[in-house]
Amino acid sequence: MLKLEYRPFGILNSESDSDFFFVCDHATNFVPRTMLGLGVGKSDLFSHIAYDIGALPVAIALALKFEASLIWQNYSRLMIDCNRQLNHEGLIPEVSDHITIDGNHSLSEQSRNDRIKLIFRPYHLEIEKRLNEREERCGQTFFVSVHSFTPTMNGIRRPWKIGVLSGGNEKFSLIVLELLRSRYDFCVGFNEPYRVDSKDFTIPEHATKRSLPSVLIEIRQDLIATEKSQKFWIETIATVLRNAREDYLAESRN
Ligand SMILES: [Zn+2]
């Protein structure tokens, strides 16, 4: 039986009334000690295959700015990727960016179910519970999922500094995109470097089903690798989210 050293998720401002609600699926690179790093080398365990570098500190800073709720996953995506559908092959990856994850090969049904039961489910149940509570308590919820992406993938350098990915309710993400593109001269991707589709879990499950205005923000990892460099992106994203919320609410009133 899998034994966890920490609870599977972290939560900040759990009962906040802020309109914003943040989640961070790939927040940490933690693997339980008994799993011996899943047989992955130390440098790979500190690379983008294990977690979204810089995403958690940015998400925490945003949640603190808005005094908003943030829920994050406390275990590495190599243990289980909490943004994958349960039947998707990437849920417990055997290979990631050409690195073999030995500890995920020939996994027994029991081990697979343990990871779903002890890591995946509690995280998503907590998000669901908090969103249910908000339906009674709060007027509006803007669902914001914070991720980061590696600057180079399969040998190709990615041009975007930030990517705006839309979920089911596109309107809010399109306002975020428009504000970023009109006010800043850095390269902003739309549904790049990834898109929310049938492999994804978090936005479809929590935001799309509830028709919440939502956005998934991807920030290039080399830009938010240090506390100092994170400051610009925290300020920029906070300003854009604040204005996008105002624009969205104003448009909804018309
Ligand atoms: Zn991610």
Does residue 87 lie in a domain region? yes
What are 117-153's pLDDT values in tens digits? 999 999 999 999 999 999 988 889 999 999 999 999 8
What CATH number should be reported for the domain holding residue 27? 3.40.630.40
Give the distance (Å) from ligand 1 centre to CA of residue 52: 5
Give the distance (Å) from ligand 1 centre to CA of residue 251: 30
Is the per-residue pLDDT at 185 higher than 80?
yes
Does residue 3 lie in a domain region? no
Give the distance (Å) from ligand 1 centre to CA of residue 194: 10
For ion ligand 1, residues whose CB falls within 5 Å: 26, 52, 147
Phi then psi for residue 220, to 5 deg, are: -65, 130
What are 194-220's pLDDT values in tens digits? 999 999 999 999 999 999 999 999 999
- Number of Cβ atoms within 10 Å of the Cβ of 191: 17
- As for how many domains the chain has, the answer is 1
Domain span at residue 25? 9-253
Does residue 66 lie in a domain region? yes
pLDDT of residue 160: 97
- Residue 216, both tokens: 């998934």
Strands (E), 55-209: 69-73, 95-96, 99-100, 142-149, 152-153, 156-157, 162-165, 188-190
What are 74-112's pLDDT values in tens digits? 999 999 999 999 999 999 999 998 999 999 999 999 999
Does residue 4 lie in a domain region? no
Does residue 123 lie in a domain region? yes
pTM: 0.97
Give the distance (Å) from ligand 1 centre to CA of residue 252: 30
Does residue 239 lie in a domain region? yes
Does residue 2 lie in a domain region? no
Give the distance (Å) from ligand 1 centre to CA of residue 88: 16
